[in-house]
Amino acid sequence: MTGYQEIDTPALIVDLDVVEANVAEMAAACRGIRLRPHIKSHKMPELARLQLAAGASGITCAKLGEAEVMADAGCDDILLAYPIFGTPKLDRLRALKERARVRVSLDSVEIAEQVATTGRTEVFVEVDTGLRRLGRAPGAPTVALLRQIAKVPGIVVAGLLTHAGHSYSATSQEELRKVAEREVLDLVETAALYGEELEISVGSTPTARYGAVVEGVTEVRPGTYIFNDANMIRLGVATEDTVAARILTTVIARPAPDRFVVDAGSKSLTSDGAGTPGWILVAGRPDLEMRFLSEEHGVGRCRPGEGPAIGDRLELIPAHCCPVSNLFDVAHGVRGGRFDHELLVAARGRVR
C-alpha cells in the first residue's frame, strides 16, 4: 500500500519533496511583501530554517516556548503573536529579546503595560476582522485603542495585525478572496484614520495568496501551507498531491464486512473537525470513509466485503495539520516514497 515499511505505525510522515514545493510556491505568491510563516503548523526547527532559506523574512510563533526553541535554532526575527502576561513570561520575553528581534501582538493597554516592563518593545495591535476572538473592530474602536497604547512608555506601535480564522468556513474561492481583501482594507483604512504609517500584517493559509496582492498589505503569516490538510482541500487551496503531512497507519481489525479499524485515533489525529463528513481523508482511497475516532482507534467504512485487510497500511490526511504536529516527538521525513530521516518536533508541547 505504501513504501517505507521500516516505519512502525502510527507515524507522522512528512514528504520533504512536497514540503519544499509548498514553501517555494508560497514564497513566490508573496513576492514583494514579507512572508512570516507561523511555525505552529510544524514546530520543527529544520522546517523553520527551510522557510527562512526560501525567503521568509522571519517567523511567527504563538507561545514563548515555541519562540525560545526557534531562537535556539537560529531564527532571529520573531513575531510573538500572543498577548504576554505575568512575571515568568515577561522574564522570558526579556531574555528572548537579547538574542532575537522580537515583536509582540496584543489588544489592550493592560498587556502593553506588561510588555513595556521588558523595555522598548515594538508591538502589533490586533484587529478583529470577523473571527470574534481578539481585537476591537476596525476603524474608530481600534484607533482609540492605538492612541492609548501609543502613550504607554516604551511601546512602539509598529503595525496592525489580524487573523482571518473565519475564512475556514468559506464555501468558494470567491468568498475567500473577498475575506482576504476585506481584512487588508479594514486594516489599511484603520491605519489611515490613525494617521501614521503602519505595517499591515494578515494571516491564514486560505487567504494568504489573495491577501498578498492587495494594495497596502506588508506581511502575511500563513502556517498550514507547509503541510496542507483536509481543511485546505475542502477550501480548494490544496489537493491530495500538495498534502505533505500524513498519518501512516495499520489496519488492525475488520470486525464487520463494511467496517475497518486502524491504529490511529484522536491521539494521532486530534478531534479537530470530528464528525464532519470527510473531515479526515484516506489518501488515494476515495472508496474508504472515516467514521469516528476514539483515542487509539480510527473507525472507517468500506463497501461490504471490500476494503483493506488486517495488516494493510493506509495514509490518513488530518483535518487540521497544526495540532497534529503537537502530538508527535518526531516526524518521519520521506522522499520519493522512501524514508529519509527523522525530524525533531522540538517545539511540541510548549504550552507556555
Is the Cβ of residue 218 or residue 268 nearer to its own copies in the bound state?
A: 268
Q: Is residue 254 helix, strand or coil?
A: strand
Residues from 136 through 175 that contact its own copies (CB under 8 A): 136, 165
CA dist 292 to 167, 280, 306, 308, 347, Å? 25, 10, 19, 17, 29
Residues listed for the chain: 352
Residue 254 Cβ vs its own copies, minimum distance, rounded to whole Å:
7
- Residue 318 touches its own copies, criterion: CB under 8 A: no
- Minimum Å gap between C-beta 179 and its own copies is 17
According to CB under 8 A, which one of 94, 178, 182, 297 is a site residue for its own copies? Answer: 297
- Are residues 71 and 96 in contact, defined by beta-carbon separation less than 8 angstroms? yes
Dihedral angle sign, alpha carbons of residues 323, 101, 193, 154: positive
The amino acid occupying position 177 is R
Q: Which residues between 220 and 279 bind its own copies (CB under 8 A)?
A: 250, 252-256, 259, 261, 263-264, 266-268, 270-274
Q: Would you count residue 183 as binding its own copies (CB under 8 A)?
A: no
Which residues have C-beta within 8 Å of that of residue 19, sequence separation ≥ 6?
47, 50, 226, 227, 244
Per-residue x/- marks for its own copies, 76-105, CB under 8 A? ------xx-xx-xx----------------
Tell me which amino acid residue 49 is: R
Q: Which is nearer to its own copies, 80 or 214 (CB)?
A: 80
- Residue from the set 98, 132, 174, 195 that interacts with its own copies by CB under 8 A: 132
Q: How many of the other CB atoms lie within 10 Å of CB of 303? A: 11
Distance CA 286, CA 55 (A): 36
Residues that bind its own copies (CB under 8 A): 8-11, 40, 62-63, 82-83, 85-86, 88-89, 107-108, 110-111, 128, 132-136, 165, 250, 252-256, 259, 261, 263-264, 266-268, 270-274, 294-297, 299, 310-311, 322-323, 326-329, 349, 351-352
